[in-house]
Structure 1
Amino acid sequence: MVSWRFNFPVIGQTSRLMHIGRTLSPTVAVSSFSHLHQRSLRYAVLGAGFAGLSVAWHLLEQSPIELHVCIDVLDGVGIGGGASGVSGGLLHPYSPKVKPLWRAAECWEESLRLLNIAETAICSKELGLNNGELAQNSDGFIARRRGILRPAVSLKNMSIMNDNAQNSLAGCRIQVINEDAAQTLVPNICVPSNSAFYMPDAVNVHPQGYLEALYVACETLAKDMSAAGLGEKEINFHKRSIGNLLELEGEYDAIIVCLGARSMFLPELSGRLPLRTCRGVTTHLHLPDNIREEVPEHSPSILSDAWLAIQNPRNLYLGSTWEWKSCNYEQNVSMEEASKALKELLPKAAAVYPGITKWAFKGASAGLRAMPPLTGNGSLPLLGRIDDFISQTHASKFWLFSGLGSRGLLYHAWLGKLMAQAVLACDEEVIPSELTSWRSKLIKKG
């Protein structure tokens, strides 16, 4: 794992106070925070994936500048050690189904903002180095802005994407192109229906590098806010597994469970959440040195029945498999599991990119996704207070943010912002009811 320590732009006290007033309504801001002046608040964020680090960032950013705030991020397998760190990283605000994604515009904009924050951390580090060393992850980038190309492989697929193109967001357009135009972007790509959908503003994110950079940005933001304001801000990462939530009872003002599928294995939550588990294997392929048919530097990543996340002209990630009801959340993949994944994924990828058969296997990793239930608004993550069935003493307030599923990168930033606002205001009403309605169907324990 690569560790970075970067300089981050200082946020002034005046702008911070103005920001807080804009984020929450004046009534909420005054009634919820006036009595906390000079108090010290401690928050535990369980999980260092997309959900956890988004919540941690927004808790710092949204907290009143006069308060002393300490945030402990706890994760037994490290930053990005779960499903978030091995996800495909293809960021776009569109659904392969007929119905548009819920609140896609807000989610898209906030995800781009957090991504820019992580990239700013990289730039600050590079400018501050004395020895000329570049700060980068093993693949050399946090975000690759080459867009995403989706060949239409059926009439139904074409109809859905045409609808998406007609209703595309201003910040992420969809262009309908033919096979010739598609091949100028990705040579030798196959477009069965002579129609493909190009999202030039979509982004290929390196999940592990992004998460590590976002945590470093949190550290620097805490330092800068402490220097600029009256209250000290602090964030710490602890590589610590939590056996049960009552271990932390009374130690923190609030405990936010952001453990993804691992939240389902906590004794207080086991069998009570409307989530399903799905293990997905992602394979890493590279083009052998004796083959020249590399992917051009400008080529977008590819979405189809299998996705190809282009890392550079000779490296890509191919994914992912879907093993429902798995309990295996280890990132490590055996050769048997990797071979099975390749056997499943390669034919799907070759249907749109035949050249993939010339690429060689380099490695594989896996993650256990927490898949949310289907609602009238689509498959939405679970947010809300859970202390009613965690503890009778209420010495700490317990919250849950889980079920990001296969769209975690799109949803994590805006929903993390909502969760942080709710925690700081001690008010679940900050969260849209679509995200909290799952609690009415909770399985009660006798």
Structure 2
Amino acid sequence: MMPLSPITQTPIPTMLPWQPKILMTRIRKPISLPVVSSPSFSVRSSFSLCDRPLRYAVLGAGFAGLSVVWHLLQHSIKDLWIDIYDEVGIGGGASGVSGGLLHPYSPKVKLLWLGEDCWKESLKLLSVAEAAACSREFNLETRKIAQGSDSFLVRRRGILRPAVSLKNMDVMNDNSQNCLASCRIESIDKDAAQNLVPNLCVPLNLAFYMPEAVNVHPKSYLEALYSACEILVRNMSTSSSGRKVLCLHKKSVGNLLELAGEYDAVIVCLGARTAFLPELSGRLPLRTCRGVLAHLQLPDDSGEHYPEHGPSILSDAWLAVQGPQNLHLGSTWEWNSRNYSPDVSSDEASKAMDELIPKASAIFPGIKSWAFAGARAGLRAMPPLTFHGSLPLLGCIDDFVGGNHGGKFWLFTGLGSRGLLYHGWLGKIMAQAVLSCDETLIPPELTSWKKKQ
């Protein structure tokens, strides 16, 4: 009988602690992500009938899906087999093309609903991903994670939001006084703001600086988080936490019922693509919204560069700085689109630039010197507005699938434009609910959408 060997054995790295003083974690060598084929009978049969592992399917390999996978592995004390299904692979959807600006505040710098918990758990997952990246430096020849000299995992330069509206200035000032100690908001004047970003336009002589806020490279982060899951599986193979298997299938799932007989639980983390499943189509309070972000570069002969320690910028358009001569500019909002292709036509890119450049130049006039270098797009799943803001949709969806499934089908979607903030904490809660088969572990604010269906 073939012994259990879910992942090719490599030396087990030591997980590194959170390092807040590191300014940037670079990915030094491109590597490619292996896709594991469907489990073979010989491997599957290494579990005897009496100790059959729990088998879970996670649909989606973006922020939500990989967070759930990580926490399922961490919290399960039993033998566990996890299959991830995503037709475009790790970070191939909207998560992989998000802006990557991570902080726990609204546009009026108000702390978001349970923002402290979300912020804390997101930092924990960033730490996990950085540890995986640093420990092996992604030097496996079979992996490809990022390209270009400005590739990084986390850029720690803070985020700056200039005040642009007299109407909201007093509210923003009040909100900024109630910031987290772990993500401070400093009210600064024009001179201080321009010390951070020369020639920045600060029309009201006021800007809000979040020095602990970070800029995450989403694709690189998700690849590293998946690698961390692999490392965890290997570590657990010699522990008392039960045997673990993790498989990635680069394929789509046509409907949920086709998985009913094979899995103990199915967790749907497909973002906007959730609405394309026949059991859920037209039944969720979600709106889709396509967003285009542009990649801009400074020409090598321009003699200019973005300040080495300069923060990213939030305004009517955001600037996510990738390096001294690279930045991402976003984002457009095309409501009710069903186009989830990341590819952007020349016409769509031109329209996006026509919309974004005037917004960006109102705050950062120097953007006009930067050249267009490409564009990507993602289809967001936007949840409805509630008393607590726009909150993701979580819960057991057995009733949507039909029949008595005993807590088999679960939903985690509607992260909107805040997937990076919400994914860590909500992924942890979702994993605990699935493992316990107990929906009451999920805050009622996140399951209340079901009562309206």
Q: TM-score, normalised by structure 1?
A: 0.88
Is 1:333 the counterpart of 2:344? The answer is: yes
Which residue is 2:47 aligned to?
Answer: none
- Are the counterparts in 2 of residues 251 and 396 from structure 1 also a CA contact under 8 Å? no
Which residue is 1:285 aligned to?
Answer: 296
Inter-partner Cα distance in structure 2 for 1:270 and 1:288: 46
Equivalent AA in structure 1 for residue 130 of structure 2? E
Deviations 1:121-175 (A, max 9, x none): 111013x9599x9986533210000000000011134223212310000110000
Which residue is 2:308 aligned to?
Answer: 297
2:57 to 37, 40, 44: 44
In structure 2, the residue corresponding to 1:227 is in which secondary structure?
coil
Q: Kindly tell me: are residues 286 and 343 of structure 1, through their superposed partners in 2, closer, same or farther at Cα, counting changes over 3 Å? A: same
Return 5+ residue gaps in structure 2 as ranges.
1-9, 17-49
Which residue is 1:241 aligned to?
Answer: 252
In structure 1, the residue corresponding to 2:273 is in which secondary structure?
helix
Which residue is 1:309 aligned to?
Answer: 320
Is 1:422 the counterpart of 2:427? The answer is: no
Equivalent AA in structure 2 for residue 193 of structure 1? L
Deviations 1:288-313 (A, max 9, x none): 11212211110000000000000001
1:103 to 104, 114, 121: 114
Which residue is 1:60 aligned to?
Answer: 73
Q: Kindly tell me: are residues 418 and 232 of structure 1, through their superposed partners in 2, closer, same or farther at Cα, counting changes over 3 Å? A: same
Which deviates the most, 134-143 or 39-48?
134-143
Q: Kindly tell me: are residues 52 and 154 of structure 1, through their superposed partners in 2, closer, same or farther at Cα, counting changes over 3 Å? A: same
In structure 1, the residue corresponding to 2:350 is in which secondary structure?
helix
Q: CA RMSD in A?
A: 2.1
Structure 1 position 412, deviation (Å): 0.6
Is 1:348 the counterpart of 2:368? The answer is: no
Runs of 4+ aligned structure 1 residues displaced above 3 Å come to 5-11, 97-100, 128-131, 133-139
Structure 1 position 196, deviation (Å): 0.5
Which residue is 1:440 aligned to?
Answer: 451
Inter-partner Cα distance in structure 1 for 2:320 and 2:162: 15
In structure 1, the residue corresponding to 2:238 is in which secondary structure?
helix
In structure 1, the residue corresponding to 2:302 is in which secondary structure?
coil
Q: Kindly tell me: are residues 134 and 180 of structure 1, through their superposed partners in 2, closer, same or farther at Cα, counting changes over 3 Å? A: farther
Is 1:9 the counterpart of 2:22? The answer is: no
Inter-partner Cα distance in structure 1 for 2:73 and 2:433: 13
Q: TM-score, normalised by structure 2?
A: 0.87
In structure 1, the residue corresponding to 2:381 is in which secondary structure?
strand
Which deviates the most, 90-99 or 144-153?
90-99
Inter-partner Cα distance in structure 1 for 2:177 and 2:241: 50
- Map 1:142-153 to 2 at 5 A: 142-153=153-164
Q: Percent identity, aligned pairs only?
A: 68
* Corresponding pairs, count: 409
- Are the counterparts in 1 of residues 110 and 176 from structure 2 also a CA contact under 8 Å? no
Is 1:185 the counterpart of 2:196? The answer is: yes
2:240 to 229, 232, 245: 229
Which residue is 1:198 aligned to?
Answer: 209
Q: Kindly tell me: are residues 218 and 199 of structure 1, through their superposed partners in 2, closer, same or farther at Cα, counting changes over 3 Å? A: same
In structure 1, the residue corresponding to 2:319 is in which secondary structure?
strand
Structure 1 position 227, deviation (Å): 1.4
Structure number with the higher helix fraction is 1
Which residue is 1:18 aligned to?
Answer: none
2:397 to 386, 397, 406: 386
Equivalent AA in structure 2 for residue 161 of structure 1? M
